[in-house]
Amino acid sequence: MRSTAFGERVSWREAWHVEARERALIAKSPRCATPAVDSMRIFMHDWRVFMHATERRFFVSMSAEIHQSVSRRAAILRILRESTVRSQDELVKALRKHGFDATQSSVSRDLRELGVAKVGDHYVVPDDALAANHFEAITNFVLDARTAGPSLTVVKTTTATAQSVAVAIDKSNWPEVVGTISGDDTIFIATANERDQRRLMQRLREIFPNVNTRLAERR
């Protein structure tokens, strides 16, 4: 590890790649021995190292947060199916017993996104039954699917159809899918490992004929 001018700790490999690009740029530019120019070159070098490391940490952190959210929602559905939960406070405590650092605000948002309703004095999960021809109405909605690491798959849909596709996937109870999070035209699907992810991609190709699937490079 080494430190940049910004106090940022980066790996030697990251620093080496940035330094190599810097040396190539300096080799093409006129030589100048003034301290001011040398200081500027050092500053720009450390700035690039800093930005490169920050960008990588951002995407790693985002992927972890998404996976945590998807796993928590899957746990909520499992808890509601297996026991009677009468309040959000009870659900928060149950999630913590399962190892999730949940809060009442995050649980409230999860229940809303999952479509969970309160009937009488307890929460009820939406009907899990899925008609055999359910996917037939949405086969043209999915356009693209790509992996983002060994346990996260990003699916792009036509505008305003992501939630319909996510609901269909959730109700299918595919064993390889931990859970989903959907927006307007994007779905994040979490799987437990790379093997389950490959199985998921195969399902998507079979069900959605227009989907363009891409696997991320494995390093």
What pLDDT was estimated at residue 219?
Answer: 45
Percent of the chain with pLDDT over 90: 24
pLDDT of residue 89: 92
pLDDT above 80: residue 13: no
* pLDDT at 6 exceeding the cut of 60: no
User: For residue 216, what pLDDT band results from cuts at 50, 70 and 90?
Assistant: low
Tens digits of residue pLDDT in 154-181: 999 998 888 888 888 988 889 999 999 9
pLDDT at 185: 92
In a domain, residue 82? The reply is yes
Average pLDDT score over the chain: 76
Is 2 inside a domain boundary? Answer: no
- Residue 49, pLDDT > 70, answer no
One domain for residues 205 and 161: yes
**Whole-angstrom distance, CA of residue 167 vs CA of residue 161:** 10
Name which of 144, 141, 168 is nearest 156 in CA terms: 144
Q: Which of 122, 108, 97 is nearest to 73 (CA)?
A: 108
Shared domain check, 139 and 115? no
Structural domain span for residue 71: 66-124
Strands 212-214 and 142-147: parallel
Is there a domain that residue 5 lies in? Answer: no
- Nearest to 18, CA basis, from 54, 46, 57, 58: 46
The CA distance from 83 to 165, in Å, is: 28
What is the count of structural domains for the chain? 3
169: left (phi over 0), alpha (psi -120 to 50) or beta: alpha
Residue 6 belongs to some domain of the structure:
no
Strand ranges (DSSP E) for 99-141?
117-119, 122-124
Residue 146 burial (C-beta neighbours within 10 Å; 0-12, 13-18, 19+):
middle
- Could you read off the pLDDT of 117-158 as tens digits, one per residue? 776 678 877 654 344 456 777 888 899 999 998 899 999 999
Of 102, 78, 109, 120, nearest in space to 181 by CA = 109
The CATH number of the domain where 205 resides is what?
3.30.1360.40
Distance between CA atoms of 192 and 44, rounded to whole angstroms?
A: 41
What lies within 8 Å, CB to CB, of 167 at 6+ separation is 115
Q: Is residue 129 part of a domain?
A: no
Question: 104, 124, 144 — which closes off a domain?
Answer: 124
146 and 191 in a single domain? The answer is yes
pLDDT digits (tens, 9 = 90+) for 57-99: 655 555 666 777 788 888 888 898 888 899 999 999 999 998 8
Say yes or no: 86 and 138 in one domain.
no
Asked whether residue 7 is assigned to any structural domain, the reply reads: no
CATH code where residue 97 lies = 1.10.10.10
Quote the CA–CA distance of 212 and 71 in Å, as a whole number: 26
Answer yes or no: do 56 and 71 share one domain.
no
